[in-house]
Amino acid sequence: MTDNQEVKMRELLKQSLKPVNGGLGRDLWPQMFSRLQPHPVTMPWFDWALLAALVLCLCLMPSAIPVILYHL
């Protein structure tokens, strides 16, 4: 590729790509700060449902407790 072709390609690219002017218009610290905060681990609803089903089963069939403990 010759220098002339390179200059033409450069000009074409400059005309084609969206110009980006200006600096940052706002302070991003609040967003950064919220990202830095530790987020509490949330348990999905399905896990709660499984736990509730297990407790219900154990209440209805207490004899199953030793079996479950054996398998844990």
Minimum distance between the CB of residue 29 and another protein, rounded to whole angstroms? Answer: 6
CA distance between the termini of the chain: 71
Q: What is the DSSP string of 28-60?
A: -HHHHHHHHSPPPPPPPHHHHHHHHHHHHHHHH
C-beta closer to another protein: residue 31 or 50: 31
Within residues 12-31, the interface with another protein by CB under 8 A covers 12-20, 23-24, 27-29, 31
**What does the binding site for another protein look like in residue numbers (CB under 8 A)?**
1, 5-6, 8-10, 12-20, 23-24, 27-29, 31-33, 35-36
